[in-house]
Amino acid sequence: MTADPAQFETFLQQYQDMVYATAFRLLGREAEAEDVSQEAFLRAWNHWDELAGSATAGGWLKTVTRNLCLNHLERYRNRWRFFSDLKSSDASDDDEGLEATFAAPETLDAEVLTGDQRQLLEEALLKLPANQRLALVLYHYEDLDYAEIASRLKVSLGKVKTDIHRARAALLKKLQLRRQELGV
């Protein structure tokens, strides 16, 4: 089967927002998200014979995007430092097993967040340290479990749990401050 450019353009328009949002959440930089998005669609074009008309094309594309982001971060890991490489004065051995005691972003999204608050959440995500943002996005937006995140990022399970816990706490604090500002 020969690739139909018009059909592929429709596919691209249908999935471009999802691909870019996934890349941006994981990478935190517009230019890098654009590059990864472009690469994801180039791969889709190269596999168009298998993807055209497939009900699983969107899932395939999201997986490719996530993997490209993880590969990008792995390639440039020396440009950013993992939180566990730094010794925090408030860190303790007990941090490894900590779980957050508030709703996950998708639950917050459904129950509490307005459009403005969603935007605040996205902005707050970008302000997190890269390792915390990455672990949190992989867990809540990409539905990976702790073990898979640890394996893909090549860090310990305890580090993943700590990063997610601290990211959740930072996000909760920002959302609470915003609610106080709004008088909600």
Q: What is the pTM of this model?
A: 0.61
Taking only the tens place, the pLDDT of each residue in 36-48 is 999 999 999 999 9
The CATH number for 97-182, chosen from 3.40.50.300, 1.10.10.10, 3.40.50.2300, 3.20.20.150, is 1.10.10.10
Taking only the tens place, the pLDDT of each residue in 49-70 is 888 888 999 999 999 999 999 8
Q: In this structure, what token pair is assigned to residue 146? A: 């702790």
**What are the extents of the domains in the chain?**
5-78, 97-182
Residues with Cβ within 8 Å of 1's Cβ and at least 6 positions away in sequence, in order, are: 49, 52
Residues with Cβ within 8 Å of 122's Cβ and at least 6 positions away in sequence, in order, are: 25
Taking only the tens place, the pLDDT of each residue in 97-130 is 443 333 344 444 444 445 666 777 788 888 889 8
Average pLDDT along the chain = 78
Class of domain 5-78: mainly alpha
**CA–CA dist 164, 100 (Å, integer):** 8
Buried b (16+ CB within 10 A) or exposed e, 26-35: bbbeeebbee
